[in-house]
Chain A
Amino acid sequence: MASQKILLVEDNADDVELTVHAFKKAWSNDDIIVARDGETALDYLFGAESCGGVPLCPALVLLDLNLPGINGHEVLRRLRERPATRRVPVVVMTTSDDDADVLRSYDLGVNSYVRKPVEFRDFTSLVQQLGLYWLVTNIRAPQ
Chain B
Amino acid sequence: MMNLLKPILDRLTWPLRRYFRRAGFRRRLITVVTAGTVGLALLLSLTSSWLGSARLQDNVQLQGLKVAETMAGQSKLALLYGSPENITTLVAVTLDFPDVAQVEIRDLTGKAVVDTASSDTSHDVDPKAASLQDRLRGGHAFLDDETPAAWSFVAPVMQAGSDSPFAMEGKKAELLGYVRIIQSKERLLAARQGIFAANLGISALFTFGALVIVRLLASSLMKPLKRLGDSMTRVEAGATDVRAELAGPPDIAKMARTFNGMMEALEERQQQLRDVNIALEADIQARLKAEEEVRELNTQLENRVIQRTAELEAANKELSAFSYSVSHDLRAPLRRIEGFARVIADEFSSGLDEQATHFLNRICAGASEMSTMIDSFLRLSRLSRGEMRVEPIDLSRLVDEIVGVLRENADHKVTVFIEKELIVQGDRALIKLAMENLLSNAWKFTRTTKDAHLTFTATLEPDRKVYKIEDNGAGFDMAVASRLFTPFGRLHRSDEFEGTGIGLATVQRVIARHGGRVWAEGRPGAGAIFSFTLWDGKA
Contact = CB atoms under 8 A, between A and B. Distances in A.
Interface of A: 12, 14-15, 18, 21, 66, 94-96, 98, 116-121, 123
Contacts of A95: 328, 331-332, 335
Contact of A119 (B327, B328, B368): B368
A120 B332 contact: no
Nearest to B333: A14
Nearest to B331: A95
A66 B328 contact: yes
A119 B332 contact: no
Interface in B403-421: none
Contacts of A123: 335, 339
B317 to A, nearest CB: 12
Contacts of B334: 118
A118 B328 contact: no
Most buried by B among A66, A119, A120: A120
B441 interface: no
A113 to B, nearest CB: 14
B273 interface: no
Interface string B331-354: 110111011101100100000000
Interface in B362-385: 364, 367-368, 371
A118 B340 contact: no
A120 B331 contact: no
A98 B329 CA distance: 13
Most buried by B among A66, A96, A118, A121: A118
A98 B338 CA distance: 22
B343 A21 contact: yes
B328 A18 contact: no
Most buried by A among B335, B342, B364: B335
19 contacts: A15-B335, A18-B335, A18-B339, A95-B332, A98-B324, A98-B328, A116-B335, A118-B331, A118-B334, A118-B335, A118-B367, A119-B338, A119-B364, A119-B371, A120-B335, A120-B342, A120-B343, A121-B346, A123-B339
Contacts of B343: 18, 21, 120
- 9 tightest Cβ-Cβ pairs between the two chains A and B: A120-B342, A118-B371, A120-B339, A18-B339, A14-B336, A95-B331, A96-B328, A95-B328, A118-B335
Contacts of A121: 342, 346
Contacts of B339: 14, 18, 120, 123
A123 B328 CA distance: 16
A109 B346 CA distance: 38
A26 to B, nearest CB: 13
Given A18-B336, A118-B367, 4 more contacts: A15-B332, A66-B328, A117-B335, A121-B342
Contacts of B331: 95, 118
Nearest to A19: B339
A121 B331 CA distance: 16
